[in-house]
Amino acid sequence: MSKIKISELFYSVQGEGRYMGVPSIFLRTFGCNFRCAGFGMPRGELSNETDDIARVVQMYNDYKELPLVSTGCDSYASWDPRFKHLSPLLSTDSIANSIMDILPYKEWQDEHLVITGGEPLLGWQRQYPDLLDHPKMHGLKEITFETNGTQKLTPEFKHYLDDWTIANWDREITFSVSAKLPASGESWEDAIKPEVVCEYEQVGTAYLKLVVATEQDIADAECAVGAFRSAGFKGHIYLMPVGGVESVYTLNAKNVALAAMKRGWRYSDRLQVPLFKNEWGT
Ligand code: SF4
């Protein structure tokens, strides 16, 4: 039986993008190809907030005890090797059983599954079919992969996802692609991969969710959208404010909504911040 290294598994409402407000199971896998240490920092500078937390990592036995950060990646413990002991390697059987335990009716109703990270389309593509074919997953109808849009689908997984949707007319796959702009601290060449994201559109619905704070970020978003459209990308564009903590998010949200409206793009909130203070497990 396959195993997946899981950072978090919880039930909440989706706070971002197309399924905002939908009751959702979040499966957060471990591992990412980026660090995104630039978020919330002056341009060109990188956050070292997680270094301070990592120095006293032995104090923490559970995800929920970890401090939230206001700069860098707010999911740092889902990829930083210094926190990997907090993410167990679980069998797909045990994951499916845990999902049943946290669903309100102990079976799938209208809930949607969010496979997030980290970057969930790294090596775990090989293990997902085993999980999705588990008898307890048969009532699931909608899946979103929250990805940074840099990982190609393997031919085997692409084929599997095609079959998964064909097997039932009301099944749907979504790729919520948070392509990383320069404000993340990642390089344009590594982060903006239109040809990869266009391939996602062959097996499901894909949209871009671009995280911005400043006028420069919005100009970068326009450039990125131009590159994606030139490659044939057809999906919706969402702008989402920077801000894993409420003080930063509140500063940004209205301006970002106005910037999205001006361009005919969609606005994505981060409902988990005003509703739940972005605590782990929300
Ligand atoms: S791609 Fe996402 S999970 Fe990975 S470092 Fe960046 S913000 Fe964090």
3-state secondary structure 172-204: EEEEEECCCCHHHCCCHHHHCCHHHHHHHCCCC
Q: What is the mean pLDDT of residues 26-54?
A: 94
* Choice from 74, 148, 278 to test ligand 1 binding pocket (greatest atom count within 8 A of CB): 148
Neighbouring residues of 125: CB distance < 8 A, sequence distance ≥ 6: 151, 153, 154, 156, 157
Beta strands in the chain (DSSP E): 3-13, 23-29, 89-91, 112-116, 142-147, 172-177, 205-212, 237-241, 266-267
176 pLDDT above the threshold of 70: yes
Q: d(Cα 28, Cα 31) in Å, to the nearest integer?
A: 10
- Residues 244/213, Cβ–Cβ less than 8 Å: no
User: Kind and range of the H or E element at 216?
Assistant: helix 215-230
207 pLDDT above the threshold of 80: yes
Q: What is the mean pLDDT of residues 18-43?
A: 95
The pTM (predicted TM-score) of the whole model is 0.95
Atom of ligand 1 nearest to the CA of 117: 3
Residue with the bigger pLDDT between 271 and 193: it is 193
Residue with the bigger pLDDT between 33 and 39: it is 33
Confidence of residue 222 (pLDDT cuts 50, 70, 90): very high
Q: Is the beta carbon of 75 within 6 A of some atom in ligand 1? A: yes
Nearest CA to ligand 1 atom 7: 73
pLDDT at 252: 85
31 pLDDT above the threshold of 70: yes
Mean pLDDT of the chain, nearest integer? 94
Q: Is the beta carbon of 36 within 6 A of some atom in ligand 1? A: yes
Query: Which residue in the block uniquely carries the two structure tokens 């400043």?
Result: 214
Confidence of residue 92 (pLDDT cuts 50, 70, 90): very high
244 pLDDT above the threshold of 90: no
245 pLDDT above the threshold of 70: no
What the block records as the tokens of 33 is 């190809």
* pLDDT, tens only, 119-149: 999 999 999 999 999 999 999 999 999 999 9
pLDDT at 280: 73
**Chain centre to alpha carbon of residue 149:** 10
